[in-house]
Structure 1
Amino acid sequence: MLQVPFVKQPELTYAEYLDRECISSIKHDFVNNQVFAIAGTDANHNLIVCNLVATIHQRLRGRNLRLFALDMKLTISSASNATYYPDVMVTGDRVDNDAYVKQKPCLLIEVLSPLTAMLDRREKRFNYQRLESLQEYVLVSQSEMKVELYRRDRDGWLVQCLGVGDSLHLQSIDLAIALSDIYEDVRL
């Protein structure tokens, strides 16, 4: 097996990252002044995101909430400007009006893939939960009908695991979604 020596990526400032990201043909997360390319997604991942977006979009019509999917950056300034591309994000703060970056979501949803599951469960969850505006963080498996809901309450974060026959109740946007709707047309 050919071994490639570890090469440390050059560090960038947040402004340099944003400038480069605007012209990049691929998306990158930005953590601790380092950029990390984001892997592409498969059919299951895309179907789940589309099912979530279609359902959530209908619920948000006429409300002061905005829905973003896949291509909107989220910057967490309390985490040294860590920046990610959540799969689904809902914001409700009209001051959070930058055209390319949001900072005050009330709901974040990530669809887990074998390559990203650990990152989504650990690093992203830790950083996301630092956001004062965030009320709920949802992890959706793409390989089995399983959803993890993290909800903020006055004592911290509660977790609820859901499976076949359950519904996901999102208090942040006052919506219940049957898991069968989230997984419609998905091959498990």
Structure 2
Amino acid sequence: MAAIPQFEDYTGAEPGTIRVADYLAGEDSAELRSEYLGGLVYAMTGASVRHNRIVGNTFAALRSRVPAGCEVFFESVKLHLRLQGLDWFYYPDAMVCCDPADDHPLYRERPCLLVEVLSESTARIDRREKYLAYTQIDSLLGYLLLDQASPHARLFRRAGEGGWQEESFDDPAAVLDLPCAGAVLLAELYAGLHIG
């Protein structure tokens, strides 16, 4: 049975339980994005310029490498999960999807790679809650966390039998072998950013 991630780090939840259809309809016209976690809706914080550059670099690197038939999405496409009978919708910073049957017009459900760029306000959620949720996705082969402050990456790779192997990268010359995308230099993900 999949573990249900804890919400301890979220604030600002709207009271009551919102139906999925109402959430999706509201997101379609909302000025601010919100994540939907088991019936509760949480507003998302804005991103820094640095965060946006790392996401943009990551999108460009992935887009130039994914095989035919795969798609790369970033920031504004939702990921839908079902954990213990509850619906969850997240907005990953980047996502690679290669399943042609995964074609809902508002979200994806079967990514092979998910990427989150850590910020002070989201780091604990990305490392704990989202790790627990994302690693329950059968199609997922890798979960990449990128530090916003310095060139540091943590790649969680599916290791079979439900296990995950962690790799850390600190050297800008390091080559990350990303599932569904192939080799990417860490420096490429941090291009154009002052380091140090």
What is the rounded CA distance, in whole Å, between the counterparts of 1:90 and 1:7 in structure 2? 29
Could you tell me which of 169, 177, 191 is aligned with 1:169?
A: 177
What is the rounded CA distance, in whole Å, between the counterparts of 1:70 and 1:182 in structure 2? 16
* Residue segments in structure 2 that go unaligned for 5+ positions in a row: 1-11
TM-score if structure 1 supplies the norm length? 0.91
- Greater helix share, structure number: 1
Q: Which residue of 2 aligns with 1:3?
A: none
TM-score if structure 2 supplies the norm length? 0.88
Q: Which residue of 1 aligns with 2:120?
A: 114
**Relative to structure 1, is the Cα distance of residues 7 and 162 closer, same or farther in structure 2, using a 3 angstrom cutoff?**
closer
What is the rounded CA distance, in whole Å, between the counterparts of 1:8 and 1:173 in structure 2? 37
**Relative to structure 1, is the Cα distance of residues 16 and 187 closer, same or farther in structure 2, using a 3 angstrom cutoff?**
same
**Relative to structure 1, is the Cα distance of residues 78 and 184 closer, same or farther in structure 2, using a 3 angstrom cutoff?**
same
Other structure's SS at 1:96 match: coil
Segments of 4+ in structure 1 off by > 4 A? none
Contact 1:44 1:187 in 2 (8 A): no
* Residue segments in structure 1 that go unaligned for 5+ positions in a row: 1-5
What is the percentage of aligned positions where both structures have the same residue? 31
* Matched pairs, number: 181
2:71 aligned with 1:66: yes
Q: Which residue of 2 aligns with 1:179?
A: 186
What is the rounded CA distance, in whole Å, between the counterparts of 1:168 and 1:180 in structure 2? 10
What is the rounded CA distance, in whole Å, between the counterparts of 1:158 and 1:173 in structure 2? 16
Q: Which residue of 2 aligns with 1:149?
A: 155
**Relative to structure 1, is the Cα distance of residues 7 and 25 closer, same or farther in structure 2, using a 3 angstrom cutoff?**
closer
Q: Which has the higher relative contact order, 1 or 2, with Cα contacts under 8 A spaced 6 or more apart? A: 2
Q: Which residue of 2 aligns with 1:81?
A: 87
